[in-house]
Structure 1
Amino acid sequence: MNKEQQFVQTIQNQLMQWRRWFHQHPELGFMEYYTTYTIGKELEALGFTLHIGQGAIASSSRYGVPAAHLLQQQEEKAASLGVESDWMNLMKGGHTGLVATWDTGKEGEHKAFRFDIDALPIHETESEAHLPYSEGFISSNPGVMHACGHDGHITIGLGLAHYIAAHHSELTGSFTFLFQPAEEGGRGAKAMVDNGWLTDVDSFYTGHLGITPMNIGTIAAGVEGFLASTKLNVHFKGESSHAGMKPEDGRNALLAAATASTQLYTIPRHSEGASRVNVGKLEAGNGRNIISDTGYLELETRGVTGTINDYMLQEAKRIIHASASMYNVEATIEFVGESEGIVCDEDMLASIPPEEDSYINQILPSAKVSGSEDASFMINEVQAHGGKATYMLFGTALPFNHHHPSFDFEEDALSVALETYIHLLQGGTTT
């Protein structure tokens, strides 16, 4: 057993404890105050240089920042949980996430690693068959859940940071860790990119637990199929009136929103590749005898290329405005997130040797995926400046899909992922 495997073995219990703690304390995008603070204090103790708040992200490049009253509620909660005031002052207003750097002082590559940290607005399953419930680490925030594995991604990042701190004398070059807020909805990555963290990176690595079911110990060195995407919120504004006495004076925003939500699915699919549209949320109405004056949609478009996604987006906008016109109401479209396509560089994991006692059993060159990832901005930024980048998958069984109230992953996958990342450091070692 080599030193990488020995290190993973010694930290396995800690990995599980970190994962379960973060699972129990989920926070939504740009409201990960307690999460950011907990990560930062761990890295600070290891000796990393920290960049927090607007030192980590470009404020104006954030997408879909929650309303001010929601941010304030979460800030007050984080303060009550012990987040120090100087940290809160840096993060307030939705400036969550952090960047941590380590320079060995020896010539070598600049390697960057991204780990997403946000949760989802999902109420977690309360069933003995669900491990987080049966083992007592279910979400403590009703209606918010780590239903996509980001609690595991944070854990992997902390494990890798501990390895660097313990073995920095053997390493060369420099390392940048991006603990990214608001991945869900494609909202947070660009804000880190626009702060300049990736302009001089030689190698960039990120990845995901699951996505597609694979055996523990299996890694996909890259992915194919992530879609470009645009996220929209739509507000319909009409005029309310009594539904029995003066229906003719009303302008029905509920019907406009409902019409748009169904007609969006009639957009012809593109002949040159995959295209998607989905309405994920519809709210409207005041009461049974009131012509509704408001309607609200949350939706997304996707395409296998930026051009195809743009086609879906323009058609979606046309249908939204046509639906509004049909009922003589106004429609305001709010852009709240996006992602680009990804082309991974090949052979970035070629340096990982097959070894006995390794947690890694198999490395696949690539895996087919769908969905979208705002890490696309990071990957494309690194490649645009001459660096190499990839997006990895780490095998686990997936009895329930991502974004499901019963989602969970096999915790042994944490050790596989950590050993993978540690090997990727070894391209910069002293002999």
Structure 2
Amino acid sequence: MDIQSYLDTLKSYEPSMIRTRRDLHRHAETGWLEYRTTALLIKKLREHGIPVKYGKEIINKDYLWAYPSESVRKSAIDRALAEGADPEIIEKMDSFTGLCAVIETGTPGPVLALRFDIDCNDVTESTDADRQPVKDGFCSIHDGSMHACGHDGHASLGLHTCIALNEIKNDLCGTIKVIFQPAEEGVRGAQSIAEGGILDDVDYLLTGHLGMGWNTGSLVALSKGFLSTTKVDAEFKGVSAHAGMSPQDGKNAILAACSATLAMHTACQDSRGASRINVGTIQGGSGRNVVPADAMIRFETRGETADIQELVLKKAMNAVNGAAEMFDCSVDTKIMGSASSADSSAELEPFIRAGAARIPEITNYVKEAAFSGSEDATYLMAKVQSHGRKAAYMCIGSNIAAPHHNDHFNFDESSLLTGLRLYVSTVWEIMHR
């Protein structure tokens, strides 16, 4: 088989890729609630004869970080059904989102996994008339839910990569697993997949992201320097009282929360490497003349290594508990998400470089670059690498209309075809007969 000729034919996939991306963008679904998205992907994969595992088959329920309540899940399911999700597929999902397509070539060889995330952000999309999603009619119809990070593109890219690889499976060897991961935002979903067993026999893992500061035509083969992170909610409980008549009877939960916020930021120092603390939200109180009985802070810690992050987290938790004690309040902390640190495996770079060489749209090849943020794909990478095998995270350049997670975000849809050709060409390098 002439792989270059096959890559050229993938141009015919572009209209479908854009159409699927826009459909998913319009029906954006947040983490753990991607019911319509999952059902749509399962249906399309089955139409091409590709076996699919989903729900409890791929997820370890012990790692469902910040999992929504039953009532929230039911509301999301009802909405997905109203918007055309297949009722039979929804029922068999048993309220769990995400899936894994499995392509068996029939010839012995390595097991390779590809991973694509599918959830959106908790953002209300801008309806400014000059934006492409508004002009072309695919702006999100769900208030508070928007694909502001490109995961709609990832899901479409993963679907069409799976279909394209299935077409040439007789020229490949081994097994290909294509994972569509829920709940990446807030780093909540990957650990449930990593501990679900689907990666236990995987020799190679490839994943990546559109954009991330790299323009259309660029490719970073190996991302490195992912920061380990933990996301925490801390709820302070005090005692309310009249702020003028009897303030001595109150226990001020907001003061405890504010003191914790100030104290924990002194912990973000470590000579061994980068570390971060951020309190992103603080809420509490009921009125200006009431000593507040309730307050909530949502914060995160990050570290260049797991050891650094764990020390920063420990100091932050000490600050939270100490502030609660100082103001005679109680505090309840909950871990809402986490991701490990990771680096891409250098051994995969020659395969990626050879794959990219066939794609003229890639005009700026970068061997490696720092990611300098957190991504829960690192759990999947670490799981594969813990078995002595290889994993890599790529950044596929795409011009963007606004920063990731912004309500004006949009990406250059031409990067979808580039990504499709890149994944197919790189998999060919690793698995062709």
TM-score by length of 1: 0.95
Equivalent residue number for residue 122 of structure 1: 123
Equivalent residue number for residue 429 of structure 1: 432
**1:55-82 superposed Cα distances (whole Å, 9 cap, x missing partner):** 1211122211123322222122122223
**1:77-132 superposed Cα distances (whole Å, 9 cap, x missing partner):** 12222334443334344x21111111111112211000001111111122134322
Q: What one-letter code is carried by the residue in structure 1 that aligns with 2:395?
A: L
Q: Is 1:255 equivalent to 2:258 in the alignment?
A: no
Equivalent residue number for residue 106 of structure 1: 107
How far residue 357 of structure 1 moved from its aligned partner, in angstroms, is 6.4
Contact persistence 1:209–1:394 (CA under 8 A) = yes
TM-score by length of 2: 0.94
Distance 1:354 1:102, change over 3 A: closer
Alpha-carbon distance in 2 for matches of 1:38, 1:408: 22
How far residue 355 of structure 1 moved from its aligned partner, in angstroms, is 5.4
Contact persistence 1:359–1:415 (CA under 8 A) = no
Alpha-carbon distance in 2 for matches of 1:91, 1:251: 46
Equivalent residue number for residue 64 of structure 2: 62
Equivalent residue number for residue 202 of structure 1: 203
Alpha-carbon distance in 1 for matches of 2:370, 2:63: 30
Equivalent residue number for residue 278 of structure 2: 278
Distance 1:289 1:69, change over 3 A: farther
Alpha-carbon distance in 1 for matches of 2:418, 2:11: 11
Alignment RMSD, CA only? 1.8
Alpha-carbon distance in 1 for matches of 2:299, 2:384: 29
Alpha-carbon distance in 1 for matches of 2:382, 2:41: 26
**1:228-284 superposed Cα distances (whole Å, 9 cap, x missing partner):** 001111111112222233222221112222332333323241111110011112221
Partner SS for 1:415: helix
Distance 1:387 1:7, change over 3 A: farther
Equivalent residue number for residue 4 of structure 1: 6
Partner SS for 1:221: strand
Contact persistence 2:4–2:358 (CA under 8 A) = no
Equivalent residue number for residue 246 of structure 2: 246
| Structure 2 alignment gaps of length 5 or more | none
Contact persistence 2:214–2:396 (CA under 8 A) = no
| Structure 1 alignment gaps of length 5 or more | none
Equivalent residue number for residue 211 of structure 1: 212
Equivalent residue number for residue 140 of structure 2: 139
Distance 1:174 1:305, change over 3 A: same
Structure 1 runs (4+) greater than 4 angstroms displaced: 353-357
Contact persistence 1:213–1:398 (CA under 8 A) = no
Counterpart pick for 2:396 among 384, 394, 397: 394
Equivalent residue number for residue 26 of structure 2: 24
Equivalent residue number for residue 327 of structure 2: 327
Partner SS for 2:302: strand
Equivalent residue number for residue 413 of structure 1: 415
Alpha-carbon distance in 2 for matches of 1:92, 1:285: 38
Distance 1:334 1:357, change over 3 A: closer
